[in-house]
A and B are shown apart, each in its own frame.
Chain A
Amino acid sequence: MSGKKTEKSYAEINQRIKKGEALVLTAEEMIDFVDENGEDKALAEVDVVTTATFGAMCSSGAFLNFGHCDPPIRMGRVWLNDVMAYAGLAAVDVYLGATEESEIKGLEYGGAHVIEELLAGRKVHLRATSKGTDSYPRKELDTYITLEDLNQAYLFNPRNCYQNYWVAVNSSDKMIYTYMGPLMARFGNASYSSAGQLSPLLNDPYYKTIGIGSRIFLGGAQGYIAWEGTQHNPVRERNQKGIPVGGAGTMAVIGDLKEMSTEYVRPASIEKYGVSMYVGIGVPIPILNKEMVRYTAVRDRDIDVTIVDYSGGVRDNPTLGQVNYEQLRSGTIVLENGREVPTAPLSSYNKARKIALELKKWINNGEFLLEKPVENLSTNSQFKILKEGAVPNV
């Protein structure tokens, strides 16, 4: 090809997708492609790289609208299968948080489990109470609903898809139970939670193409990035490749629950910790220029991550050096203190791979087009801690 192009546009890529001519690779396939063909050829030939993750994402939940009963009720307190949903909204709107626990069963069953039951088409027990008003006289409601019965049901997850995370270990002499799973005493095991080279924000570390309005794979359906995620921390220390060495960027995502599947949205009960929800997210990255070729060719050994000792129960846990994902995936790491520690992932690489392949299929079939972000995620917002005891200025 003469007159080498150095930039491609979203419009060109979408045109190729519509014509069925686009070359779409998963982030794993992209590594091999660049190795074999070089960056120039990758830019010329590859249109989209699909990235994905399937991990525990506590900061998740669903907005539900039940429709009005007769006589109507302005729901004050609401329970779904004995899990409380937040009803401080309009009369029959609630937000069901994934981690809210059942008032009867505790952490065996929570908001995420209710979401799974809805997705599976099962009946869910709805109870509501109210103070009663002139226009909404009813004070109590006790009935059963299904996902189909609802007007709207959409996931709106305030913080998903962490860009990297930590490796968790326990230096103390007793076992501790954390959101990173059980951590055995005296560095008995290490757990980590990122899809590494397949993970969306690690393939676009400065959020050049991933932003508000990006169309994504969410829980088996098409969804969108709605906002930057809570605790989005783009200024986290980065390695030479520009990869943050701990939890950094995050995204808030939205999508229609009615189109999702239990295959990609799963409840979790984390021993002696609580309920969480595994969410499958896939993000397509357009190969607009050489920079995106380089970012999407990132591999596990380029991604460093900080080891954190979770035994103290404090905000700023002590750290114990760094390892990379290739080392983590080998099953054993060696700590700075010389200890050899078995490693295990919390997020499913197998599922992440399936999602990346599924998204690739959607794009190849012309069912999924890329959306240019309306606005990019911040690259400089500050990450704040909660300061206690400050006296308000009157």
Chain B
Amino acid sequence: MCKKRLKLVFGPEIVGKPVTYNLIKKYDVIINVFQARVLPDEEGHMVLDIRGKNEESIKKSIKYLQSEGVMVDFLEKSISYNQDRCINCGACTGVCRSGALLMDQESWELIVDQDKCLLCEMCLSACSMKALSLELG
């Protein structure tokens, strides 16, 4: 199994195409959608995990998406957490919708769960200590 997190941007002209259907059907990949906003005549956005048998199957899938005109952004970015700068205030937790940033209700320390992060980047603006930053893969 091989997994990649992708951010897809669909131009208004291809929003109507059954791209994800074809992707699953033709390339036998498992899709897990975290975030999606796809409306008629508007630019669409989607954040998803794509899982395939091997790296090759994922490569082919991405080629297919690109051939359909979808812009593919590899979310090999991650939010990096600098514990020394963090004061455990918790300001970041109020804007985090994915559950990646939570306060421990006993110790009042920040718990960071990278696996849940959807890279919305809201926490970057909520942290006044610059303890959270975007790391490019």
Q: Are A268 and B129 in contact (CB under 8 A)?
A: yes
In the complex, per-residue mask of A151-189: 1 if CB is within 8 Å of any chain B CB, else 0:
000000000000000000000000001000110100011
Q: Are A269 and B87 in contact (CB under 8 A)?
A: no
Assuming A266-B87, A344-B93, A348-B89, is B125 touching A271 (CB within 8 A)? yes
Q: Does B118 count as interface, using CB distance less than 8 angstroms?
A: no
Q: Are B88 and A344 in contact (CB under 8 A)?
A: no
Q: Are A345 and B91 in contact (CB under 8 A)?
A: yes
Chain B contacts of A350 at CB under 8 A? Answer: 87-88, 107-109
Q: Are A271 and B128 in contact (CB under 8 A)?
A: yes
Q: Does A77 count as interface, using CB distance less than 8 angstroms?
A: no
Q: Are A266 and B129 in contact (CB under 8 A)?
A: yes
Chain A nearest CB, measured from B124 CB (Å): 8
Within 8 A of A (CB), among B57-112: 87-95, 103, 105, 107-109
Q: Are B128 and A276 in contact (CB under 8 A)?
A: yes
Chain A contacts of B95 at CB under 8 A? Answer: 181-182, 184, 188-189, 344
Q: Are A348 and B125 in contact (CB under 8 A)?
A: no
Q: Does B126 count as interface, using CB distance less than 8 angstroms?
A: yes
Cα of A276 to Cα of B127 in the assembled complex, Å: 12
Chain B contacts of A270 at CB under 8 A? Answer: 128
Within 8 A of B (CB), among A274-296: 276, 278
Q: Is the interface of A mostly helix, strand, loop or mixed?
A: strand
Tally of contact residues, A, Cβ under 8 A: 32
Assuming A191-B91, A331-B103, A344-B91, is B126 touching A349 (CB within 8 A)? no
Assuming A182-B122, A350-B108, is B128 touching A342 (CB within 8 A)? no
In the complex, per-residue mask of A206-249: 1 if CB is within 8 Å of any chain B CB, else 0:
00000000000000000000000000000000000000000000
Chain B contacts of A343 at CB under 8 A? Answer: 94
Q: Are B94 and A181 in contact (CB under 8 A)?
A: yes
Q: Does B4 count as interface, using CB distance less than 8 angstroms?
A: no
Q: Does B130 count as interface, using CB distance less than 8 angstroms?
A: yes
Q: Does A56 count as interface, using CB distance less than 8 angstroms?
A: yes
Tally of contact residues, B, Cβ under 8 A: 20
Chain B contacts of A126 at CB under 8 A? Answer: none
Chain B nearest CB, measured from A270 CB (Å): 5
Q: Are A268 and B128 in contact (CB under 8 A)?
A: yes
Chain A nearest CB, measured from B129 CB (Å): 6
Cα of A188 to Cα of B126 in the assembled complex, Å: 13
Cα of A188 to Cα of B94 in the assembled complex, Å: 9
Chain B residue at minimum C-beta to C-beta distance from A330: B105
Cα of A252 to Cα of B87 in the assembled complex, Å: 23
Q: Are A351 and B87 in contact (CB under 8 A)?
A: yes
Q: Are B87 and A182 in contact (CB under 8 A)?
A: no
Chain A residue at minimum C-beta to C-beta distance from B105: A329
Chain B contacts of A266 at CB under 8 A? Answer: 87, 129
Q: Does A23 count as interface, using CB distance less than 8 angstroms?
A: no
Q: Does A79 count as interface, using CB distance less than 8 angstroms?
A: no
In this complex, which of B87, B107, B122 has the most chain A Cβ atoms within 10 angstroms of its Cβ?
B87
Q: Does A60 count as interface, using CB distance less than 8 angstroms?
A: no
Cα of A242 to Cα of B133 in the assembled complex, Å: 42
Chain A nearest CB, measured from B109 CB (Å): 6
Q: Does A57 count as interface, using CB distance less than 8 angstroms?
A: no
Q: Are B128 and A181 in contact (CB under 8 A)?
A: yes
Cα of A342 to Cα of B97 in the assembled complex, Å: 9
Q: Are B89 and A347 in contact (CB under 8 A)?
A: yes
27 A/B residue pairs, CB under 8 Å, sorted by A: A54-B89, A181-B95, A181-B126, A182-B122, A182-B125, A188-B95, A189-B94, A191-B91, A191-B94, A268-B128, A269-B130, A271-B126, A278-B87, A329-B105, A331-B93, A331-B103, A343-B94, A344-B90, A344-B93, A344-B103, A347-B89, A348-B88, A348-B90, A349-B88, A349-B108, A350-B87, A351-B88
- Chain A positions within 8 Å of B, measured between CB atoms, are 54-56, 177, 181-182, 184, 188-191, 266, 268-272, 276, 278, 329, 331, 342-351, 353
- Chain B positions within 8 Å of A, measured between CB atoms, are 87-95, 103, 105, 107-109, 122, 125-126, 128-130
Sorted nearest first, the 6 A-B pairs with minimum C-beta distance are A344-B94, A268-B128, A350-B88, A271-B125, A350-B108, A189-B94
